[in-house]
Amino acid sequence: MSSADPSAPRLDLLRRATAHLAPVVPLLTELGSLFEQAGHELALVGGPVRDAFLGRTSPDLDFTTSASPEEILAVVKPWADTHWDIGRDFGTIGARRGDHTVEITTYRADAYDGQTRKPVVAFGDNLEDDLVRRDFTVNAMALRLPGMEFVDPYAGLPDLAAKVLRTPGPPEVSFGDDPLRMMRACRFVAQLGFEVAPQVRSAMKAMAASIQIVSAERVRDELTKLLMAPAPRPGLRLLVDTGLAEQVLPELPALQLEIDEHHRHKDVYEHSLTVLDQAIALEGPADGPAESVPGPDLVLRLAALLHDIGKPATRRFESGGGVSFHHHEVVGAKLATKRLKALRYDKDTVKAVARLIELHLRFHGYGGGQWTDSAVRRYVTDAGPLLQRLHRLTRSDSTTRNARKAALLSRTYDDLETRIERLQEEEELAAVRPELNGNEIAEVLGIPPGPVLGQAYKHLLEVRLDRGLIGKEAAAQELRTWWATRSATNGS
């Protein structure tokens, strides 16, 4: 790498970046030479360059070039093990060689016309103009190849050192080109621990409503990346403080309920952010077993963030100065379902998040451990495959500053988990089902398959949950008793 008159800190950063890129330098120089021989410019750009300075490894290598998509293909086809042109209309060609995936894009600018949800693509003809069109200065740094010349026309390296997000040009122009960049700023705050420059924050506030022209799918993907970051809280704060959350996730700022001197209750917004922090702390390692809820876990994080969104709609002021939120878990589950569907999350994620929100208060009926074994079985079967996430969500929901109360809640949940483990060992609760299968039920009652058989099966399942394992003979007798009562009631 070369640069004109760099300062000592900058030299140090350059050395570190060079060392970090060392494993891919042969590939960079080889690919750069191929493009150079074909008469084209090529530069490593964006995230891989930024991450090299941060000591992070990017999974993919992003390049920009003076070559057209057709010219890119002509160069990479003989070189790559495989290639694809799904992004050809946007100037991007993808390829894989060995363990490395590369994306090569023609110098370009993405811009919205202010009305449609799809960006308009325009190709450029030089690196500096391509860089000025990028989202932030820390992503507008490049390495010209094959010579590994460092290019930083918009002072991205000083901003990287200062951990600040600025735009290469006026932020109003950058966000006008692509409003999703405002959400990306929130994501980088969460992922990288950066702060946004004052002028960037001001532009985000002024232009928040323009995020509406971006497709729900792109907004969803950016929100997901933010939530899956190591520390989502600062990014979520920025999302709320700039007004972006009001546009894409209005249930979150709605948690900032006004608290007056007569009606005291916990700050629901701050509580929800703390619950998210605590849930993340309870995730298992990324390579851990499924029962550890390996992190980052999107379902758990969404449920933690949204678990109380039913409170604003259910808040009631009580005569003694207190505040109640009756059935907020039911209302919250419905609100979460509606919002996540609007953001185009998949059905399984929507269903799982809503179910966790619906169940997150169930533990509080446990009291001092008075639940019967039947109630514990129902807790487990109602949670189903979400049980381990429910454990973590419930524990995370304790944000009291009262140490004695917090310790009591923790011990009580410890006791519930112990009881669950004992019953699971004894009764295989994870696969709880009636002690007679469908064929056996049909044989005992002498009935064919159909709705009545389904009712009989459901009755035996209730017996199983209420009484545990009672043996097949007792289950058959219970079934005959139910059948006799049913027949008498129906007059048959």
Please give the Cα distance from 428 to 377 (Å, whole number).
10
- Cα distances from 425 to residues 55, 366, 456, in angstroms, run 46, 21, 27
Domain that holds residue 299: 257-431
**Quick one: what percent of the chain has pLDDT higher than 70?**
92
Q: Are residues 104 and 223 in the same domain?
A: no
Task: Answer whether residue 348 shows pLDDT above 50.
Answer: yes
User: What mean pLDDT is predicted for residues 105-134?
Assistant: 75
* SS3 at position 95: strand
List of residues 6+ apart from 290 with CB closer than 8 A: 388
316-317 vs 323-324, strand pairing mode: antiparallel
Q: Are residues 267 and 237 in the same domain?
A: no
Q: Are residues 352 and 463 in the same domain?
A: no
Q: Are residues 351 and 285 in the same domain?
A: yes
Q: Are residues 17 and 40 in the same domain?
A: yes
Q: Which residues of 62-97 are buried (b: 16+ CB within 10 A; e: fewer)?
A: bbbbbbebebbbebbeeebeebeeeeeeebbbbbeb
Where is pLDDT greater, at 267 or 234? 234
Q: Is 235 left (phi over 0), alpha (psi -120 to 50) or beta?
A: alpha
Q: Are residues 427 and 443 in the same domain?
A: no
Instruction: Please confirm whether the linkage preceding 296 is cis (ω < 30° from 0).
Output: yes
Instruction: From 465, 489, 462, 460, select the one nearest 477 (Cα to Cα).
Output: 460
316-317 vs 108-111, strand pairing mode: unpaired
Task: Answer whether residue 110 shows pLDDT above 60.
Answer: no
User: What mean pLDDT is predicted for residues 351-370?
Assistant: 89
Q: Are 468 and 381 in contact (CB under 8 A)?
A: no
Secondary structure of 154-223 in HEC code, one letter for each residue: CCHHHHHHHCEECCCCCHHHHHHHCCHHHHHHHHHHHHHCCEECHHHHHHHHHHHHHHHHCCHHHHHHHH
Please give the Cα distance from 376 to 350 (Å, whole number).
25
**Quick one: what percent of the chain has pLDDT higher than 90?**
56
The CA-CA-CA angle for residues 283, 288, 293, to 5°, reads 35
Q: Are residues 261 and 189 in the same domain?
A: no
Task: Answer whether residue 18 shows pLDDT above 50.
Answer: yes
Q: Are residues 101 and 233 in the same domain?
A: no
Task: Answer whether residue 178 shows pLDDT above 50.
Answer: yes
Q: Are residues 318 and 198 in the same domain?
A: no
Please give the Cα distance from 121 to 111 (Å, whole number).
7
**pTM above 0.85?**
no
* SS3 at position 104: strand
pLDDT digits (tens, 9 = 90+) for 279-306: 999 999 999 999 899 999 999 999 999 9
Element housing 144 (H / E): strand 142-145
Q: Are residues 186 and 264 in the same domain?
A: no
CATH number at residue 193: 1.10.110.30
CA atoms within 13 A on the CB side of 450: 5
Longest dimension (CA), the chain: 98
pLDDT digits (tens, 9 = 90+) for 206-218: 999 999 999 999 9
pLDDT digits (tens, 9 = 90+) for 240-271: 999 999 999 999 999 997 665 444 556 899 99
Last residue within a domain, chosen from 381, 406, 431: 431
Can you name the residues that pair with 101 across neighbouring β-strands?
60, 96
Task: Report which listed range, 12-21, 72-81, 407-416, is most confident.
Answer: 72-81
Please give the Cα distance from 365 to 404 (Å, whole number).
19
Q: Are residues 81 and 134 in the same domain?
A: yes
Here the tokens at position 86 are 């799904």
Total number of residues shown for the chain = 492
Please give the Cα distance from 247 to 212 (Å, whole number).
7
Last residue within a domain, chosen from 203, 218, 249: 249
Please give the Cα distance from 308 to 266 (Å, whole number).
12
Handedness of CA 171, 175, 178, 179 (dihedral sign): positive
Please give the Cα distance from 364 to 394 (Å, whole number).
9
pLDDT score, position 463: 85
Q: In 10 A of CB 61, how many CB atoms?
A: 22
Last residue within a domain, chosen from 199, 233, 249: 249
Instruction: From 128, 122, 209, select the one nearest 168 (Cα to Cα).
Output: 128
pLDDT score, position 1: 47
CATH number at residue 141: 3.30.460.10
| Across 27-31, 114-118, 182-186, least confident range | 114-118
Number of domains in the chain: 4
Burial group, residue 242, by CB count within 10 angstroms (0-12, 13-18, 19+): buried
* SS3 at position 296: coil
Please give the Cα distance from 76 to 63 (Å, whole number).
12
Q: Are residues 288 and 301 in the same domain?
A: yes
Please give the Cα distance from 307 to 363 (Å, whole number).
14
Please give the Cα distance from 166 to 185 (Å, whole number).
9
Can you name the residues that pair with 43 across neighbouring β-strands?
64, 144
Mean pLDDT of the chain: 88
Backbone angles phi, psi at 270, to 5 degrees: -65, -40
